Amino acid sequence: MKRNYKSILFALTAAMIAPIVGCGGSSTDEAHTIKIWTTFNDDYGAIITKVKKSFETKYPEYKVSYKKINGGYNDLAADIEKGASAGDIPDMAALYPDSMAKFLDLNIGMNIEPYMKDEEIGWTSEDFDDIPEGYIVEGQSYVLPGTYSLPICKSTEAMFYDKDALVNNGGLDLSSIDDTINDGDPLTENYINSLTWDDLFNHLLPAIETYIKNNPSDTRFSPYAAKYKDNGALFGYDSDDNMFITLAEQYGYGYTSINSKTGKGSIDFVVKNDKGEFAGITDEYYALVTQLYNAAKARHLTTSAYLGERVNYVFTTGGMLFSIGSTGGTKYQFSTTHALDVGVANIPQVNPEDSKVINQGPSVVFLRNPKIKKDAEKVATKARGMWLFYKEWTSKDFATEWTVTTNYAPIRKSTGEDPTYLAKCDESKQTLKTQEMLNARTFKYVAEVSDSLFGSPVFTNSGKARNAVSGIFSDIFKLSTLSRSAVEEIFARAYSAAI
């Protein structure tokens, strides 16, 4: 049930009846000043400045202070952690959701959900329908109930591929090698867009390898033979951690979760004994890594960690046919010095009818400043302003401008109907083998998979878990001989690093 702002303020006041001692600088100025810190570039910052102007015109009782922090997301998160005790922190910041787990431990997280659902100032039912559900759920996947972050720079993963080599001019015909591929027909975009991992590793990649060996004069593939390097392959996955997390989600084998009884995070990619100690891995996990290991040794599969350089670089220089990477980094899947007709497809799935692609990228995190935490009225006033600024930032017009400027995924589905956005998505208005053409295809793809997004729960060690699994596949691929004991040793190290 929706509540209104006045009822929120009353509830907060009733819950905080302790007297205020030594307020000092905690004046109404603090309550009415919304501080925002990001690491965004100047183009992004220019939009935030426009939002600031619009917001302050609508709500003149508030003032917005926007600050660009030098460094990356980890630097920004560290600055907030250092300033938490003294209250030298922003009210809103653009960070990966993992950072909020630490902020909740420091008791500076702000639950924005009451304002988001408020009947007077919150989102309408139309708004909620307009925001991909996965974006909102991500901000609710913490150990505490509520909503502590909301989307701003979201992306997912796509499979980028060489259309000239695979589907253009009638498509590559592999029927004489394996007539199960695309029911014996030449390759098509629809086939590439609906691959399963079994299709990929058991049929498509082995058949392509055979075709290249049998047709050395086919110039479409000559760069791949010439540019194969150590650990090179036909198919590459850029993010080792995303690959592990995505496969765990698609296969349902376990990665992390939050214990509903204790509210604590759980590491689920290993078998544990009653004491929570490592006790092995499941047969299903071992079967999966065996398939991946065989593909890597056959030079059908590689990752950035195994390859020793970014997969997208090898792809754009002609050394790979397929490259799975972030849609937020689409510009890295194209090179003007070796311009390809780059196609964009869904990543392979376990079940294409139940597609799952990772939800990633920074969100806006909401923080509660210790300077005013004992003053319920000021807390509520500031929280109201924080919400209203975010609401303005993600309104339909600004959400569209943000998307077409940053090339991140649309925050709102309705952006897909905006003429400016549609023009950027219209392939007929783009030139073949250009960055603009690839951007158009990526925008279209992101809209198509917006209902397939998944995220992982966020807790104190969720960042450690991500880092821990990032080396599992590459370490396994480096084994000269595959054995269960060696694989379990690698998983055991990852588990130890994650807890």
| pLDDT tens digits along 309-367 | 899 999 998 889 999 999 999 999 999 999 999 999 999 999 999 999 999 999 999 99
Report the pLDDT value the prediction gives residue 228, as an integer from 0 to 100. Answer: 56
| Ramachandran class of 465: left when φ > 0, alpha when ψ lies in -120 to 50, beta otherwise | alpha
**Average of per-residue pLDDT across 169-193:** 97
Give the separation between CA 406 and CA 441, rounded to whole angstroms.
16
Report the pLDDT value the prediction gives residue 221, as an integer from 0 to 100. Answer: 83
| pLDDT tens digits along 96-108 | 988 998 999 999 9
Task: With cut-offs at 50, 70 and 90, classify the pLDDT of residue 264.
Answer: confident
CATH of 5-151+362-406, one of 1.10.150.80, 3.90.1150.10, 3.40.190.10, 3.40.50.620: 3.40.190.10
**Average of per-residue pLDDT across 164-186:** 97
Closest CA to 231 of 280, 169, 178, 298: 298
446 touches 156 (CB < 8 A): yes
Name which residue leads in pLDDT, 317 or 440: 440
Domain segments of the chain as ranges: 5-151+362-406, 157-359+430-498
Task: With cut-offs at 50, 70 and 90, classify the pLDDT of residue 263.
Answer: confident
Name which residue leads in pLDDT, 182 or 23: 182
Rounded to two decimals, the pTM is 0.87
pLDDT reading at 281 higher than 60 = yes
| pLDDT tens digits along 461-494 | 898 999 999 999 999 999 999 999 999 999 999 9
The answer to whether 5-151+362-406 and 157-359+430-498 have equal CATH topology is yes
C-beta atoms surrounding 93 within 10 Å: 28
Give the separation between CA 417 and CA 403, rounded to whole angstroms.
13
Three-class HEC string of the chain? CCCCHHHHHHHHHHHCCCCCCCCCCCCHHHHCEEEEEECCCHHHHHHHHHHHHHHHHHCCCCEEEEEECCCCHHHHHHHHHHHCCCCCCCCEEEECCHHHHHHHHCCCECCCHHHHCCCCCCCCHHHHHHCCHHHHHHCCCCCCCCCCEEECCCECEEEEEEHHHHCCCCCCCCCCCCCCHHHHCCCCHHHHCCCEHHHHHHHHHHHHHHHHHHCCCCCCCHHHHHHCCCCCCCEEECCHHHHHHHHHHHHCCCCEEECCCCCCEEECCCCECCCCCECCCCHHHHHHHHHHHHHHHCCCEEEHHHHCCCHHHHHHCCCCCEEEEEHHHHHHHCCHHHCCCEEEECCCECCHHHCCEECECCEEEEECCHHHCCCHHHHHHHHHHHHHHHHHHCCHHHHHHHHHHHCCCCCCHHHHHCHHHHHHHCHHHCCCCCHHHHHHHHHHHHHHCHHHEECCCCCCCHHHHHHHHCCHHHHHHCCCCCCHHHHHHHHHHHHHHHC
Locus of tokens 């991140």: 408
| pLDDT tens digits along 30-41 | 999 999 999 999
**Average of per-residue pLDDT across 190-207:** 98
Report the pLDDT value the prediction gives residue 20, as an integer from 0 to 100. Answer: 29
104 touches 148 (CB < 8 A): yes
pLDDT reading at 18 higher than 50 = no
Which amino acid makes up residue 458? Answer: V
Report the pLDDT value the prediction gives residue 22, as an integer from 0 to 100. Answer: 31
The CA-atom distances, in angstroms, between 32 and each of 6, 54, 58, 275 are: 17, 16, 14, 50
The H or E element containing residue 325 is strand 322-326
Give the separation between CA 284 and CA 405, rounded to whole angstroms.
43
Topology of the domain covering 157-359+430-498: D-Maltodextrin-Binding Protein; domain 2 (3.40.190)
